[in-house]
Structure 1
């Protein structure tokens, strides 16, 4: 699924971003996405149930623990995990979900479309 400019603008307008699947391994995409936000002076909160901090930023263990100012999340998780987490994001009031390459699945995309 491709994003149109209006969707990208809406995603980037969030005051803060959740990075779901953030990794402490600098070679993994979950770390690279987090660093990209930070390098562009964006407030990013890593979501990782096993880490206390990544790149010096305190982690939350679940999407449900993200602060209310987070309106957009990047998902860097396996498709089966993405499918489980999208309903939590929707219930939390996350407005924009960007499934990074390899995180998407038809089920997760359908869930997002139902709540758009």
Structure 2
């Protein structure tokens, strides 16, 4: 079933989103792209300039913006706090299972990534979850609060 892409209202950012951004030290950009026009590239480039340890994840790339790229979340050889997901909604459940294996605490489904089933699964498994908000935009909002 195709879900409509509903743009989020950034005046209504849930507190959990701010809490995740504040607590995150390391994050994986799942679906990172080397193409400058892609949102995943733009968010990755922005976050590299911030206080985070940022890792790109894309099985079709070896490096993005000078950073080693890993084929999957499970291939990253160190711990990750937050998985920021830029994949189709139907791919999110598998990423959640990888996050559980890896010990990732936070799942962040980027703006436009909407899967209530995946959201519910992550919550049932005890993960912190944000859906349909942009990590970069929430980070910028947090800096201006």
Looking at structure 2, the residues matched to 66 and 100 of structure 1 have their Cα atoms a distance apart, in angstroms, of 20
What is the CA-CA distance between 1:36 and the residue it aligns to? 1.6
In structure 2, the gaps of 5 or more residues are 1-7, 127-145
1:47 and 1:59 in contact (8 A); partners too = yes
Does structure 1 residue 55 correspond to structure 2 residue 49? Answer: no
Among 36, 53, 61, which residue is 1:26 paired with? 36
**Within the alignment, does 1:93 sit opposite 2:103 as a pair?**
yes
Cα offsets for 1:30-76 (capped at 9, x unmatched): 10111121122421000000100011111011010124331111101
Does the CA-based 8 Å contact 2:81-2:105 persist in structure 1?
yes
SS at match of 1:70: coil
How far residue 14 of structure 1 moved from its aligned partner, in angstroms, is 2.6
Aligned match for 2:92, one of 75, 78, 82: 82
- The answer to whether the 8 Å contact 1:82/1:104 transfers is no
> Mean Cα displacement is larger for which, 12-21 or 41-50?
12-21
Offset from partner CA, 1:83-109 (integer Å, 9 cap, x none): 221111122111011100222301110
2:28 match: secondary structure: strand
Report how far residue 9 of structure 1 moved. Answer: 2.4
Is structure 2 residue 23 aligned with structure 1 residue 13? yes
Unaligned stretches of 5+ residues in structure 1: none
State the TM-score, normalized to the length of structure 2.
0.72
Whether 2:78 is the aligned partner of 1:68: answer yes
Deviation at 1:6, TM superposition (A): 4.5
Find out whether 1:113 has 2:123 as its counterpart.
yes
Count of residue pairs the alignment pairs up: 116
Alignment RMSD, CA only? 1.9
Structure with larger Rg: 2
